Structure formats: structure tokens, C-alpha cells
Structure 1
Amino acid sequence: MKIFSFSPFGYEGSLVAVEVDLRRGIPAVDVVGLADGAVKESRERMRSAIRNSGFEFPLERVLISLSPADLKKEGAGFDLALALAVLDAQKGNLSEKSVLVMGELELSGLLRPVRGVHAAAGTAKLAGIDYCIVSSQNAGEAKEVSGMKVFAAENLAEAFDALYKPEIFCEGSEFSEDQGAPKGSVWVENVLFPPVDEGFEMAEICGQRKLIRALQVAAAGGHNLLAFGPPGCGKTLALQKFPGLLPLLPLEESQSVTRIHSLAGLLPPSVSIMRKGDFRMPHQTASIEGICGGGVSCRPGEISLAHNGVLFLDEAAEFRTSVLQMLRVPLETGTVTLSRAGRSTVYPANFQLLMAANPCPCGNYGVEGKICLCSARSVEMYWRKFSGPLLDRVDLRVCVSAVEKEKERNNGGEENKDFSTGALRKKIAVAVKKQRERGVKNSRLSPQQISEFCVLDGEMENFLENQRKKNSLSQRGVSACLKIARTIADMENHLRIEFSDLREAVELRGNSGPLEFVLPGE
């Protein structure tokens, strides 16, 4: 029997072959192959679990080799693999079948779940291993790997019996469009959306029609967004409801999201595959390592956990400047590369960035009827924390006014029906369907794809050129306007970008620099 386990490092991880040799000598267990403390301690857990499960522990000297030998092995996920390898060696290695084994053993022989099972199963399948034995609590995520045959074991005895009975392994899940979807999910224009849970209804927001429209466009095209305005205007409340506008992920996108959360040990117990992109909202005190990832084994950070989901920075100006500037490369490439002790790993980090900020440190700059106590220098330093290159990568900039909110609150609740989450999803679904047919989100269009899908006539080209000069737009800013216009055109079911689509896109893009924003009351 060829028994393999998995050493999680970064996004890729490595398969580890577990070999056992029984030899003459004083009874003892030796583990070689750069095993850390947790792996070495598994010798005693394994010995007790084997005896308490009704087996005899070998009286010979046991040598356990973990290869490749130059790869450091960490964690308690090797317990079950070591125990089965010892029992198989005692039985005489009767089979040449290869099997992936992961699980932590209790002294009684019962199995505990471990992190990284989905990643391990995916890596094993690529290596040609078709069988997997894991804890019953990890079996769901392993079955989401296409073609993997899984046995869910409750204890060591069941796992050992499964080694020689391939017929009791269960086939992986059959893939379907609604696989793993939350109960109550609904289809809108052939796009699957999760149910509108409590707290995600956009109609509860009074006023702020421009902000809600910008969020609708952001959800439809995957665009980054900055909302700024005085405290209490509702920008944070609206942005926290943003996940209610997002459709469920396609199955191919769900696999990478599930893998990352499995490696981080954050996969919910009742969820075997992540069909909803994660909504991450880190605190302002977060470090660079917490945001981009790191540690000895290169654990994923917030931007990787937000892969195919949303990273929301509330009070964004309060984050460290180094943290904000670190976002520039992942926003451009959709990946983050981590290097530790001679090894490196590349995590996917294709996240959507939402930011909320006040107009100044006190929050009253440009607000009618209030006095700003900040000096011009402090306001300038406040906005310089973002830097022009970072803001240039934010497609949508929305100035949120408390005055507008007060006016629209008096209009009654009837007009809010058009801004309910269900109503907003209809146009989002139309745009998402078109982008899935193209194979790329509008926010990720390459220059060649922009030339193909964002064609303008002469009048619109002149309008965009005038806006470029008036607002000092960079080339990236011009491209952002075209991408936003393409999203709006998709939402309105326009085959080509129309003048109204481009005009609204320019308005939503705003000016180029943070100090050039037109604030209310100025």
C-alpha cells in the first residue's frame, strides 16, 4: 500500500509519501524527514490509538520516513497516515494501491478534522491518486474534487478496513449549477443568486440613490469603489449590504475559493464548497502580513480570503499607509506572491475592493451647516495616505451627501421599491450573463479586449477626450471609463456602448486626484 499525506504550505502544498520499515532492535518509533514537533508527538498518539482500536502495536523497531526528506512537515494531519502505514507494514504491504490519508487521531482512535483537505484532495488527484480516506467531518470538501473517491471514517478501525475495500469508497459529488447553493437561492435571468438574508435589503436605505446605483454597477462589472462623505450619511451601511447584490460563484471559481478557505481552516462545518465569495472586513489595525498573508507556512491573508469576493476597508484612511500601498500590485495582477525561507507560493487574490472614508479627519469638510476643524495641511495628509496610483485603480468614486439623504427621506417609501435588492439584481444578472459568455469580467478587460468590446463612435470619442483633459484622467482612468460604460451598456442590454452609458460612466468615475473631488457644499 502506498500511503500519502499532505503538507500544507502556501497555496500549492506538497504530497508526502509515508513509508514504514519494521526491523529488529529495541522497540521504538523513529520519524525521519524534517518532521516538526506536532508530527513527532504523533508517535505517542498513534501508539495509543492503535492499541485502543483493538490492534497490536509492532514489537519491532519502527522507522517512519516522510519524503521528500528536505520538505518540512507540520501539523497533526499526519496522525492517521502514520498509523495506517504502520498497520499496513505489519500486515505485509499486500496492495500497490495509492491512497491519500489525512486526519488527527484521538487517543481513543477517533478521528478529528484537519485543515487543507480540499487542497490535498485536489493535489492528489492531479498526481493520479484516486482514493482518499479522511475524517467524516472533512469528507464533504474532499468529495468536491472531481473524480476523487472518498471514504469518510469515524475512527482508526474503519479507516484500516477501507484500505483493502475499494468498493466502499464513495464517488465525488456530481457537478450541477445549483451544487452547494444555499437553501432558498433564486434564478434571475439564468444567473443564480443567494436568498436575500436579513440585513442585506437595499430598500432599507433612505436616499443615496447615486450610491446605490454605483453599487449596482460595481456588482454587475466587478469594479472597485470608493465612497466618501460625512459621518452618518449611510455609506458604511450601504457597502455592508453589497454582498446581497452579488450572484453565486460559478463552480470553477468556487474551487479556488474553497481551496484557500480549506488551507486557512476557515471552511464552515456545514459548507463543502464555497459558492458565495467571502466578504472580508479587516480592522484598521491590520498589519501587512494580516492583509497579504505570511507566517512560517505562508498562510493566506485577507486579500486571498477575499479571492472572487469582496475586501471592504471601512474608514480606509485609518489603515497604515504601507497596507494601502501594498494593495496596488494585487489589484493589478490578481495574485500575491509570498516568500519564506527559500520557498515561495503564489495565492490568487482577484478581489473586489470597496472603501469608505470621511472627507477629512473630523468628517465635516464641505458639509453644509457644519464647521471643519481640520487645517488644509491635515486634510491634504489625510488623502495622501491613499496615493494617486492606488486611487487610479479604483474605478468608481462616489461622493455621499447627507443633504441628499435628508431630501429623499421625505419622499416616502414607495420610490424605494425600485432600489430593492431583488429589483437591482435583474439588471446585474443581465450584465453578469453577458460577461460570462465573453469569459471575463468587465473590470478585468485587457487593452485588446477593451478595443474589441468598448467601441465608441466619433462623437463619444470627442466627449471622452474632452473629459480626459478636463479631469486630467490618466490612461488607466480612460480605460476605467470605458469598462464602466461597457458594464452599464450590458445592464441596459445595449449591444454597443451608447452616449448615455458613457456619460454616466464618466460621472461615476469622478476626477483623477483625491484632492480634486468636488465635495458637497463647495
Structure 2
Amino acid sequence: MRIFSFSPFGYEGSLVSVEVDLRRGIPAVDIVGLADGAVKESRERMRSAITNSGFEFPAERVLISLSPADLKKEGAGFDLAVAVAVLGAKENSRETNEDDSMWTAESPEDTGDSVLVMGELELNGNIRPVRAVHAAVCTACAGGIRKCIVPEANAEEAREVSGMRVFGAQTLSEAFCALNDSKAFTQKERSGSSNALAGIPEGSVNIEGVLFAPVSPELDFKEVRGQTKLIRALQIAAAGGHNILAYGPPGCGKTLCMQRFPSIIPLLTPDEAQSVTRIYSIAGLLPHNSPSVRTAPFRQPHQTATIEGMCGGGPKCTPGEISLAHNGGLFLDEAAEFRTSVLQMLRVPLETASITLSRAGRTSVFPADFQLLMSTNPCPCGNYGSTDKLCLCSARAVEQYWKKFSSPLLDRIELRVRADNNAGENTKGVSSEELRVQVARAVSAQRKRQGKRNSKLNASEIVKFCRCTDGAKKILNEAQEKLGFSPRAASLCMKVARTVADMSEKFCIDEECMQEAVDFRKAEGNALTDMGML
């Protein structure tokens, strides 16, 4: 029997083989294989747990090897694997009864019968849940391991991985007894295919084949009065996965609208949910009662967030906010108050949809395919461009305020909206259910046509899928000449126009769709245009 555990580092992590050798000598427990403090302390937890569970701790000298030897082992998740391996070695020594022999918990020749074991031990033998179980089981399954023993609290999380047989243990005794009992391992029954509808919130609705979570009353757009243009931009952003920037005076409703954005985002597909669930499992943020993440993430970090907090890192190379927002939205409220270095760090992940982290000689690549939503004031005092209030900021102050964003970052934002205090304040609010209809229509069309969101189309796919009428091409060409659109800006306009056309069930992009995309891009009559940043 080969016993494996898992060392979480970055997005990938590594499987760790656990070997135990019982030999003559002064009774002691030695752990080799670059174990950190938490892993070395497992010697005492493991000894007490074995004794308090009714087993006899080996009287020989115990050598525990964690391989590969040059990989640093971190965390308390090795406790159960080490304890089970020690008990297996003790049992093997009784069966062989050869005093001069060396016993190990695994036979190097036997590679077919392997098991993944994870869990933290209490002194009384109970097993505590650990993080990164989903990631560990996925890695083990990819490596050909089909059985795992995990804490009962993590069992459903492990069963979400197709093809893995799982035993959820509450105590060390249960885990050791199950080790040689193949009937104790079970896997989740799946109806139809591996794309089972796991983790879908109760009350979710299906609109044209696209699933949406139930609308929370406090996040319903019907509570918003006015800001019709901003709500329209958010609807387009949800339909095509586009980035958006809203700017306007304080109190006009920018944050109010942005925080309701999750109510019109579709649920994740099973394929999208796999990577999101793995990230949240690694970060230790996966709820025990929700083994799979199907709701699109929506992260709202504070303005004091550091580069490490946003992009990830630390001793264990844990995911940052942009990875936690993978396949969802990252909302930066009062974006101009974030550090300039933090804002500029977003530029590459917005293009590559991933981020590469290097820590202590090791490299890990986290997915970071997120939508960027930003809201900010037009100037430090907030009154620039207002018709009824006086702006007290100098031209230099306004320029410095907007230079925190930089043109390369703003050039990657497809939708720019100015929100005013009197922007349709008497108009009736539109509910999230009504907004979802066009979003679902567009998402369904994109999935059938190209299998991804319009915002992710590359140059060749834009030519193939974004067919325009002659009038639409003329509008875009004029915008490039008169407004100085960059090639990137022109391609982003094409993507937004394609989304608008999908929302209206139009095969080709017509003049109306292109004009709306250009209008959201140019955002004329504001501080950004005056400074030549848009």
C-alpha cells in the first residue's frame, strides 16, 4: 500500500509520498524531507493520537520520510498520513516478526494500490478539516490515484472530483480500518455525465439555458432610481464579460449600482467552476457546506490592499484578489485611492488572464480571468464637470489624480460611464430579473457560437464572428479618425458591439450596435477627455 499526502504550494501543489521505517535503536521519531515546523510538530500529535485511539505506538526508532526530499513540506495536513503510515508499519512488523528487518509502510514495487490521505489530528484521535483538499484530490486523480481518506468535513469536497472514491473519516481508528477495506470508499452518484449540477444555489432559475442564482432583495436593481446609462453598461458588461469604469460626483449611485452587478451574472458552468473551486480550496475559503463553487466570485478589496494582497504570494504562494475573482468580478471602489503600483499591476493579468508568481525558487501560475469594475470621482473634491457645484481642484491636481490610472490601463477598459446626480432620478427602476433576459440571450449565443465570452475573442476570432454592416464599419472608422482610437480600442469596440448585437439577437453588427459601443468608449464631455486620457 502506497500512502500519499499533499503539499499545497501555489496553484499546482505536489503529491508527497509518506514512508516509515522501524529500526532498532533508542525510541525516537525522526522526520526527514524538508519538513516545516507544523509538520515536525506532527510527531507529538501523532504519538498522542495513536495512543489515545487504543493503538500501541512502536517501541522502535521511527524514521518518517517525506519525498520528494527537496520539496518543502508545510501545514498540518500530513498528520493523518504519517499516523496511518506508522500504524501500517507497526502492523507489518507484527506479521513478519523479523527483528532484524526493516519495515516500511509502502512497497516500492507495488504502484497499483495507492491512497491519498489528508487530515489534521487532535490529541484524542479526532480528525480536523484541512484546506486544499479539492486541489489535492484533483492532483491525485490526475496521477492515477483513485482512493482517498480525508476528514469527514472535507468528504463532499473530495467527492466532487469525478472518478475518486472517498472515505470521510472522523477519527484515526476509522481511517486506519478503512485503509484495507475497499468497500469503505464511495464516490458520488452522478446522473448523466460528470457535469452534474453540484453546488447550484436553491431557487436558481434557467433563462434560455443559462442559470442564474436567486436574486437577493438587497442586491436587486429595482431599488435603484435613475442611472439608466450606468445600468445599461453593467448589463452589457455582464453579457459579454467586459471591463467597466464609472466616474461621477460623490453620492450619485456609482457604488450602489456596481455592488448589484452579481445579481445579473450567470452561474458558472461546470468547467468554469472547477478552477474556481480549486483556487478557493487552496486559499482555505471553500465552505464545508458548499463543496463546489458555482456562483461567480465578486471581490471588493479595500483601498489599502497591497500588491501581494492583490496578485498573491506569501510563504505558501497563496492566491490574491485577482485570482479569487477568477471567472467573476473584481470591483475597485474609489479606485483612485488605490496605490499606483497596485493599479498598474492589473495591466498584464487583464491581457493574459493569468499571473505567474515566483517565490523561494519556485514558480506557480494562477488563473486570473476576471472582469475589472472600477468607480471613482472625477477629481479629488468630486465636483469636476458638475453644473451646480464648484470644483476647487486645480488643473494640476485633477491631472495628477487621473494619472494614477495611466493611459495603458484605461485603454483596456471597454465601457466608460459618467454618472450624474440627476441622471434620470425620476425614472422607475428596472429589476434584475428583467435585465437578466438580455444577458442570458447574449451568453447563450456566445456559448453556442464560440464557446467563450466576447471579451476573450482574439484578433482572428473578431474577424470571424464580429461581422459588421457597411454602416457599422463606417461609424468605427470615423471614430478611429476623429477620436484617435488605438487598434486595441477599435477591437474592443467590435467586441462590445458584438455583445450588444447578441443581446438583441442580431446576426450582424449594425449601425445602432456599433454606435452604442463607440459612445461607451469615447465618454465625451468629461475630465478624462479633456486630458486626452480617453
Normalised TM-score (structure 1): 0.96
Equivalent in the alignment of 1:482: 494
CA–CA distance in structure 2, aligned partners of residues 247 and 4 of structure 1? 38
SS at 2:217 equivalent: coil
CA–CA distance in structure 2, aligned partners of residues 513 and 298 of structure 1? 44
Distance change in 2, residues 1:439/1:410 (3 Å) = closer
- Give the CA deviation at 1:176: 4.5
Equivalent in the alignment of 2:482: 470
| Structure 1 unaligned residues grouped into runs of 5+ | none
- Aligned equivalent of 2:129, options 100, 113, 125: 113
- Give the CA deviation at 1:511: 4.9
Distance change in 2, residues 1:38/1:173 (3 Å) = farther
User: What code does the residue aligned with 1:447 have?
Assistant: A
User: What code does the residue aligned with 2:279 have?
Assistant: I
- Give the CA deviation at 1:368: 1.5
CA–CA distance in structure 2, aligned partners of residues 108 and 298 of structure 1? 32
CA–CA distance in structure 2, aligned partners of residues 90 and 410 of structure 1? 78
Distance change in 2, residues 1:72/1:514 (3 Å) = farther
Equivalent in the alignment of 1:146: 162
SS at 2:506 equivalent: coil
CA–CA distance in structure 1, aligned partners of residues 402 and 336 of structure 2? 7
CA–CA distance in structure 2, aligned partners of residues 160 and 264 of structure 1? 28
Equivalent in the alignment of 2:86: 86
- Aligned equivalent of 1:135, options 151, 157, 182: 151
**Matching of residues 2-151 of structure 1 within 5 Å:** 2-92=2-92, 96=110, 97-151=113-167
SS at 2:218 equivalent: coil
**Matching of residues 422-437 of structure 1 within 5 Å:** 422-437=433-448
Q: What is the aligned-residue identity percentage?
A: 62
- Aligned equivalent of 1:161, options 177, 186, 189: 177
**C-alpha contact 2:157 2:288 (8 A) present in aligned 1:** no
- Give the CA deviation at 1:173: 5.1
**Matching of residues 195-234 of structure 1 within 5 Å:** 195-234=214-253
CA–CA distance in structure 1, aligned partners of residues 393 and 517 of structure 2? 32
- Give the CA deviation at 1:166: 1.0
**C-alpha contact 1:294 1:301 (8 A) present in aligned 2:** yes
**C-alpha contact 2:32 2:65 (8 A) present in aligned 1:** yes
Deviations 1:55-85 (A, max 9, x none): 1100110000000000000000000000000
CA–CA distance in structure 1, aligned partners of residues 259 and 530 of structure 2? 25
- Give the CA deviation at 1:513: 12
Distance change in 2, residues 1:253/1:476 (3 Å) = same
CA–CA distance in structure 1, aligned partners of residues 383 and 402 of structure 2? 14
Instruction: Check if 1:349 corresponds to 2:362.
Output: no
Deviations 1:162-197 (A, max 9, x none): 101111111135244532100111111111100001
- Give the CA deviation at 1:262: 0.5
Instruction: Check if 1:279 corresponds to 2:291.
Output: no
Distance change in 2, residues 1:234/1:518 (3 Å) = farther
**C-alpha contact 1:473 1:512 (8 A) present in aligned 2:** no
CA–CA distance in structure 2, aligned partners of residues 152 and 321 of structure 1? 47
- Aligned equivalent of 1:309, options 328, 343, 349: 328
- Segment drifting more, 164-173 vs 365-374: 164-173
Distance change in 2, residues 1:435/1:177 (3 Å) = farther
Equivalent in the alignment of 2:99: none
User: What code does the residue aligned with 1:76 have?
Assistant: A
User: What code does the residue aligned with 1:160 have?
Assistant: F
**C-alpha contact 1:313 1:355 (8 A) present in aligned 2:** yes
CA–CA distance in structure 2, aligned partners of residues 43 and 172 of structure 1? 34
User: What code does the residue aligned with 2:426 have?
Assistant: N
CA–CA distance in structure 2, aligned partners of residues 497 and 323 of structure 1? 36
User: What code does the residue aligned with 2:442 have?
Assistant: A
**C-alpha contact 1:143 1:173 (8 A) present in aligned 2:** no
Equivalent in the alignment of 1:454: 466
- Aligned equivalent of 2:269, options 245, 250, 254: 250
Instruction: Check if 1:442 corresponds to 2:454.
Output: yes
The alignment covers a number of residue pairs equal to 511
Equivalent in the alignment of 1:389: 408
**C-alpha contact 1:226 1:396 (8 A) present in aligned 2:** yes
User: What code does the residue aligned with 1:433 have?
Assistant: S
Deviations 1:225-281 (A, max 9, x none): 000000000010100000000010000110100000000001122110000121110
- Give the CA deviation at 1:91: 1.3
- Give the CA deviation at 1:410: 3.0
- Segment drifting more, 225-234 vs 432-441: 432-441
**C-alpha contact 2:153 2:288 (8 A) present in aligned 1:** yes
User: What code does the residue aligned with 2:486 have?
Assistant: S
CA–CA distance in structure 2, aligned partners of residues 306 and 370 of structure 1? 37
Equivalent in the alignment of 2:505: 493
| Structure 2 unaligned residues grouped into runs of 5+ | 93-104
Distance change in 2, residues 1:66/1:425 (3 Å) = same
**C-alpha contact 2:356 2:365 (8 A) present in aligned 1:** yes
SS at 2:246 equivalent: strand
- Give the CA deviation at 1:518: 7.2
- Segment drifting more, 171-180 vs 105-114: 171-180
SS at 2:186 equivalent: coil
CA–CA distance in structure 2, aligned partners of residues 356 and 516 of structure 1? 14
Deviations 1:122-159 (A, max 9, x none): 00001000001000111111111110111000010000
Equivalent in the alignment of 2:207: 188
Distance change in 2, residues 1:173/1:215 (3 Å) = farther
SS at 1:517 equivalent: helix
Instruction: Check if 1:259 corresponds to 2:268.
Output: no
Distance change in 2, residues 1:518/1:495 (3 Å) = farther
- Segment drifting more, 140-149 vs 167-176: 167-176
Distance change in 2, residues 1:4/1:309 (3 Å) = same
SS at 1:199 equivalent: helix
CA–CA distance in structure 2, aligned partners of residues 499 and 460 of structure 1? 4
Distance change in 2, residues 1:376/1:300 (3 Å) = same
SS at 2:140 equivalent: helix
Equivalent in the alignment of 1:361: 380
- Give the CA deviation at 1:35: 0.3
- Segment drifting more, 42-51 vs 174-183: 174-183
**C-alpha contact 2:471 2:510 (8 A) present in aligned 1:** no
User: What code does the residue aligned with 1:100 have?
Assistant: L
- Aligned equivalent of 1:376, options 382, 392, 395: 395
Deviations 1:73-110 (A, max 9, x none): 00000000000000011111598520000000000000
Distance change in 2, residues 1:513/1:150 (3 Å) = farther
CA–CA distance in structure 1, aligned partners of residues 78 and 414 of structure 2? 46
CA–CA distance in structure 1, aligned partners of residues 522 and 287 of structure 2? 39
CA–CA distance in structure 2, aligned partners of residues 335 and 471 of structure 1? 31
**C-alpha contact 1:257 1:307 (8 A) present in aligned 2:** yes
CA–CA distance in structure 2, aligned partners of residues 120 and 302 of structure 1? 22
Give the CA RMSD over aligned residues.
1.5
- Segment drifting more, 386-395 vs 430-439: 430-439
The ranges of structure 1 where at least 4 consecutive aligned residues each deviate by more than 6 angstroms after the TM superposition are none
SS at 1:353 equivalent: strand
